[in-house]
Structure 1
Amino acid sequence: MSRLLGIMSRLQLTGFSRHTRRYSALPLVYSEDVRRAKADGTPIVALESTIITHGMPYPKNLETAREVEDIIRNQGATPATIAILKGVLTVGLTKEQLEYLAKAKGVIKASRRDLAPIMAGQQDGATTVAGTIIATELADIPVFVTGGIGGVHREGEHTMDVSADLTELGRCKTLVVCSGVKSILDIGRTLEFLETQGVTVCSFGESNDFPAFYTTSSGYHAPNRVTDALHAARILYAARQLRLSSGIVIAVPVPEKYAMDSKVIETAIQNALVEASKQGITGKEVTPFLLAAVSTATGGASLDANIALIKNNAKVGADIAVQFQKLRNVDNLENAFNIGVSKSPGKCTTNSSRRFHTSCAVGIKGEENMIKYNDLGGDVLVIGGANVDRTYRVTEESVQLDGSTHACKTEQCGGGVGRNIAEALWRLRGGRTRLLTAIGDDADGQYIQNIAPGLILDDCIVKSARTAKYAAVFDAKGECRLGLGDMDIHNQITVELVNRHINDLKNAPLVVLDGNIPLTTMDYVLGICEEFQKPVFFEPTDRRKAIKPFHGKHSITYASPNLMELRAMANFMNPDINVMKTNELDEVVELSKVILKCVRVLIVTRGSKGAITIKRINNKLEPYVKELDVQVYPAKILNTVENVSGAGDCFASGFIHGILQNLQESQSISIGFETAKQALLIKETVPLKFNMSRLKNQK
């Protein structure tokens, strides 16, 4: 890529995953471990903090909290204990923060009603189940592990004492792993309340019995049963597809070894209720009174059971999170539910009425708007620049831009955004790609033709003209210190040249344009594409050229700007736009609302952060788009990089290759990441041969 700004510089683009979040400034902070897990797209398991501050005495609480986190790590997930520290909602605690919380006095139990006052007062708060669920929704953590959820209290029909956990479960998307509800509650009415709230309740394992915390059975049956972690993950995945916006409870029985005698527990509860009535204990004081009575009656065995079940739940929850992440990953999308997907060699067709991803936006629709391609052997037509890239890597410690001569190593390869995309597609598609460009009748022009014989269309050689050249000077650290371009020949990509190859354009399944072609030519090509309903992929190349398609008020299918180019597009289309930069994602979304009136799908490249796709919910051309589908695709770090010049162009080619096979957007992004990774590991801009087996694994 001539800009030498490969979007995946120093990235590892394999094994990527994705996550979607609401585009708003979130009132929380992540620990470094959680932040890294979110960036890498690896599974995360949320944990509440009241079990630390109010569930066990010190140091048993700290010891248990650390052991629970270690269990989750050992299963392949990242633990995220949630608490409010000095008014800051914190997702993931460090060792020091965990110890502070375990020793702290006067920590407030933080349910929904308490979160805002605690934060405003800059106090410490331990999140309950309800409070933790709110944090998991903000942080987009699908799986939350706890000991037991709250419920309807005994005689709740008179006192109206119903835990906020139940209503929160009715308005969240979180899967909560627990050991049911404590026997001190009215379990039958709790299950009825959960049904009214639309909460999916499942027992875990071989029995339909709904557990009662200390005991494996409450005497009630769960409405559903899951056999293992994968089964639970599939239910969560299906719920996300259906956008149910109500929670899932996976009720895991306490390990048999630690299960208590239900008769002993019930006797202790009944005696304690009588005593509470005599002492006038009511309201929120009843629960701790009953728990203390149970602990006394069992000689402290209830604490051992509590610890055993939370550890067991942590293992189950981590397994579910890992399995759910696999279902989210592109490698497993086709196998997730085996619906709407049929596969034949080299091609995957999807039922457009199904959605294989979770989007989070204002009015969400998903991928049913996907464009279908009739790619029966037609040649993709790429119209754009071709040049020779020369790099000069200075071997001395410093570069003096004062006319001094420096020792260097020189390399040469084909370049130009359009040419790079065309070559990569030509190699990916077994040739079915043609490039319309302009090159000189000189040695550099012959060099470009020899890289991929047959790629460039006839009549693209301009007599007595210089082939475009780009030169870059790098210092010893690999930083570009100077770039030079001789690109005048791009002005020879004219309307007349396009008309000579009008049949190539009409027969192409998709037309790719880069920002290097003249404005008049671009306007003409876009008009022809609209007339023949031809999909267009636009690669801006830089912020000055990013606005070219919008001079003629044309509509295009795909555009792949970076943030600077996105800003230029939005400012051109609405000079009065003023975006408050709360964070990058907020800015991208707000800018996109203006641009999407002319672009169907935006693929915003984010350097080391990966990519974001933004689509309209419907295809109405409105002055200001309100309903969007937003997808965030992170990428991982790659420690070894040979050359960044062609990575961005290979990413675009891999994405195009995927959509031409009618793959899901997420699968196409995955292929783009893999092609970019392969480009980063070579000295040329485009690999002479892509590892097709690795690309097939991305489908």
Structure 2
Amino acid sequence: MVAKAGPGIPGRYGFLRGQIRSAWCTTLSQTTAACLLTALDVSADLTELGRTPVAVVSAGVKSILDIGRTLEYLETQGVCVAAFGESREFPAFFSRQSGFKAPYHVQDEEEAAKLIASALGLGLSSGVLIAVPCPQERAASGQVIEEAIQQALGEARSKGITGKELTPFMLQKINELTDGKSLDSNLALIKNNARVGSCIAVALSKLQKATRKGNLPRQEDTTPPQPVVIGGINVDFIAKAQNSVILGGGQTNAGRVRRTFGGVGRNLADCLSRLGLTPLFLSAMGKDEHSESILHYCHHMDMSAILQLERKSTATYCAVITSAGELSVGLGDMDIHHQITEQYVSQFKENLCRAPLVCVDGNVPLSTIQYICQLAREHQLAVCYEPTDENKASKPFLSDSWKALTYISPNLQELRAINRTLGNPLPAELPSRLEDVIKTAMALARPLLAHLCCVVVTLGAHGVLLCGKSLGGSISLHPAAHEQPAAASLCATHYPAIHISREEIVNVSGAGDSLMAGILAGMLANHDTDTCVRMGLLAASLSLRSYEPISPEISTATVSWQQVQGKTWPAAKVWKMD
């Protein structure tokens, strides 16, 4: 949580630790995002509230600002505004009354927590504003300050003070007129907002725990089901060589080393969260020097179910990549992934059985993967398996568990490893020419489509190959397509990648995860297959240009069907597999 001071103490910030699901719960002594009376001067806070799932606890809007226009603008941005306490009156910072009614009203912290939980459950990309009136005992002194504000404002107008000169003049004048009491009141309001915000945070935490344990009455469970992602979370150290040739023999190569946060499961959950889905993420990490940094970085994700273990090390991964962005060598310390056990995951059985989609990565122990596959078979769940790497690709295929999967997203090497495990014929070597790559991928995917809905073969710079059942020339990503009549034929569709020059490529480690998350986000939004795949390609292209595995530029604005429709795409080519 963050406490932000009002104009009485400009520039002073205090940070209170704590994370609430996918949103920060923020306390502000004043909603600085507001419209001035004389001109449409809109602070960036208003826009940010309209595009970020954040809960803000505020003392309202000062009377020198246009409260009515501010409330209208918040409504336009899709921000839920609620007055806190006995009255629906929207407060005016030092004053409990403003003459405006808030659109909504919550009596106490429990009602506020339910409002925030509902907004989170709906997957809204906008925030919630809880407006808290100043304490009754402060109302008298607050009125004195309001009178000083009006006097200072009148003097500013008479002197023609406007624009950037207005705020420092007002602060100095109000301080003089109140003998410094404005600063005391600012501090009191911050403390009151922090107190209310803390109470709401506690109530929301209790509400979420009760939801996970199934202790809420049925009528309270109004939030739609979340996707669930199960997999690894890593601290990544990415070393990118400066020169095109990496020298061996113990020599030091010039380059740049960065710390980022990765793990296939984390990457998928991160990208899906940025695309407005906020999946429940199940993973394990240590209580060590990395854990606080991870939780802070992943504040936009639902990390409430993460297993944190004493005397265990958070997974770390070190990658050396070439100047062209290709992986040269990787080293991983990932023993903690063995703690993502069936016993841990089974605590969230209700979430899993209600989920519209479950994603599992190859870091998860075999017994846990088999448990998920068993649930999928019993409850007809849609499950996507991300193989992670060639060594882990075959885990579900060591038994018949894989037949309960819906999607897999291997690259060509991983697809070959899967077929090797199943005892299927293999090519003598993997080709490099695109047409041969596609033919090989189709041959390796074909035996899997007797049970899987779709095989998504990632081809790196060549794009992606979708293999599945087609009726009318288009592959459907929806699980119901697997039950199509015999008239449905097997086909593959190749989608070229968005062209990116070598100079633009910064990091390839999260591109495949971004691709799959974009595809799945489109599928969950019921978009057609072409739109889903191209949403994935957009997400992948953004991550290729980012030092982070999942680009912070990925959002519902940058990766959407509107963006797909507004872009010219190279033609996709359909290949028959029968």
Paired position in structure 2 for 1:198: none
Structure 1 unpaired stretches of 5+: 1-344, 348-374
1:680 and 2:544 correspond? yes
Query: C-alpha separation between the residues in 1 aligned to 2:241 and 2:482?
Result: 51
> Can you list the C-alpha shifts for 1:418-461, whole angstroms capped at 9, x where unaligned?
1001011111115x212101111112222222112252243511
The one-letter code matched in structure 1 to 2:349 is I
Q: CA deviation at 1:596?
A: 1.2
Are the counterparts in 2 of residues 426 and 434 from structure 1 also a CA contact under 8 Å? no
1:668 and 2:532 correspond? yes
1:638 and 2:485 correspond? no
TM-score normalised to structure 1 length: 0.43
Query: C-alpha separation between the residues in 2 aligned to 1:575 and 1:403?
Result: 41
Query: C-alpha separation between the residues in 2 aligned to 1:472 and 1:641?
Result: 16
Aligned in 2, Cα 1:620/1:690: closer, same or farther, shift over 3 Å? closer
Which residue among 575, 579, 586 is the counterpart of 2:439?
586
1:605 and 2:458 correspond? yes
In the TM superposition, what are the counterparts of 1:381-460 in structure 2 within 5 Å?
381-395=228-242, 399-429=246-276, 432-453=278-299, 455-458=302-305, 460=307
Q: CA deviation at 1:629?
A: 2.5
In the TM superposition, what are the counterparts of 1:362-377 in structure 2 within 5 Å?
377=224
In the TM superposition, what are the counterparts of 1:258-407 in structure 2 within 5 Å?
377-395=224-242, 399-407=246-254
Are the counterparts in 2 of residues 659 and 665 from structure 1 also a CA contact under 8 Å? yes
Are the counterparts in 2 of residues 643 and 681 from structure 1 also a CA contact under 8 Å? yes
Q: CA deviation at 1:483?
A: 1.8
Q: CA deviation at 1:667?
A: 0.8
Aligned in 2, Cα 1:408/1:638: closer, same or farther, shift over 3 Å? closer
Q: CA deviation at 1:399?
A: 4.5
The one-letter code matched in structure 2 to 1:628 is L
Paired position in structure 1 for 2:490: 628
Q: Alignment partner of 2:406: what SS?
A: strand
Query: C-alpha separation between the residues in 2 aligned to 1:489 and 1:650?
Result: 24
> Can you list the C-alpha shifts for 1:242-264, whole angstroms capped at 9, x where unaligned?
xxxxxxxxxxxxxxxxxxxxxxx
Are the counterparts in 1 of residues 318 and 331 from structure 2 also a CA contact under 8 Å? yes
Identity of counterpart residues, as a percentage?
A: 32
In the TM superposition, what are the counterparts of 1:89-108 in structure 2 within 5 Å?
none
Structure 2 unpaired stretches of 5+: 1-122, 126-221, 471-480, 566-578
Q: CA deviation at 1:382?
A: 0.3
1:512 and 2:376 correspond? no
Aligned in 2, Cα 1:481/1:545: closer, same or farther, shift over 3 Å? closer
1:501 and 2:348 correspond? yes
Aligned in 2, Cα 1:508/1:620: closer, same or farther, shift over 3 Å? closer
> Can you list the C-alpha shifts for 1:109-143, whole angstroms capped at 9, x where unaligned?
xxxxxxxxxxxxxxxxxxxxxxxxxxxxxxxxxxx
Paired position in structure 1 for 2:423: 574
Query: C-alpha separation between the residues in 1 aligned to 2:357 and 2:324?
Result: 40
Are the counterparts in 2 of residues 574 and 594 from structure 1 also a CA contact under 8 Å? no
Are the counterparts in 2 of residues 603 and 614 from structure 1 also a CA contact under 8 Å? yes
The one-letter code matched in structure 1 to 2:526 is N
Q: Alignment partner of 1:378: what SS?
A: coil
1:550 and 2:414 correspond? no
Q: CA deviation at 1:479?
A: 5.1
Aligned in 2, Cα 1:691/1:437: closer, same or farther, shift over 3 Å? closer
Query: C-alpha separation between the residues in 1 aligned to 2:260 and 2:420?
Result: 35
Aligned in 2, Cα 1:433/1:644: closer, same or farther, shift over 3 Å? same
1:470 and 2:332 correspond? no
Query: C-alpha separation between the residues in 1 aligned to 2:428 and 2:483?
Result: 23
Q: Alignment partner of 2:330: what SS?
A: strand
Aligned in 2, Cα 1:677/1:479: closer, same or farther, shift over 3 Å? closer
In the TM superposition, what are the counterparts of 1:525-536 in structure 2 within 5 Å?
525-536=372-383
Query: C-alpha separation between the residues in 1 aligned to 2:484 and 2:413?
Result: 24
Q: CA deviation at 1:394?
A: 4.3
Please say which structure displays the higher CA radius of gyration. 1
Q: CA deviation at 1:381?
A: 0.4
Q: CA deviation at 1:627?
A: 3.9
Q: CA deviation at 1:476?
A: 5.3
Paired position in structure 2 for 1:654: 518
Query: C-alpha separation between the residues in 2 aligned to 1:632 and 1:414?
Result: 31
Paired position in structure 2 for 1:615: 468
Paired position in structure 2 for 1:14: none
The one-letter code matched in structure 1 to 2:396 is P
Query: C-alpha separation between the residues in 2 aligned to 1:485 and 1:621?
Result: 42
> Can you list the C-alpha shifts for 1:357-395, whole angstroms capped at 9, x where unaligned?
xxxxxxxxxxxxxxxxxx983211000111011112345
Aligned in 2, Cα 1:595/1:438: closer, same or farther, shift over 3 Å? same
Are the counterparts in 2 of residues 573 and 595 from structure 1 also a CA contact under 8 Å? no
The one-letter code matched in structure 1 to 2:464 is A
Aligned in 2, Cα 1:621/1:524: closer, same or farther, shift over 3 Å? farther
Aligned in 2, Cα 1:533/1:687: closer, same or farther, shift over 3 Å? same
Are the counterparts in 2 of residues 510 and 535 from structure 1 also a CA contact under 8 Å? yes
Aligned in 2, Cα 1:615/1:485: closer, same or farther, shift over 3 Å? same
The one-letter code matched in structure 2 to 1:671 is M
Query: C-alpha separation between the residues in 1 aligned to 2:400 and 2:483?
Result: 15
Q: Which has the higher contact order (CA 8 A, sep 6+)?
A: 1
Query: C-alpha separation between the residues in 2 aligned to 1:460 and 1:605?
Result: 31
Q: CA deviation at 1:346?
A: 9.8
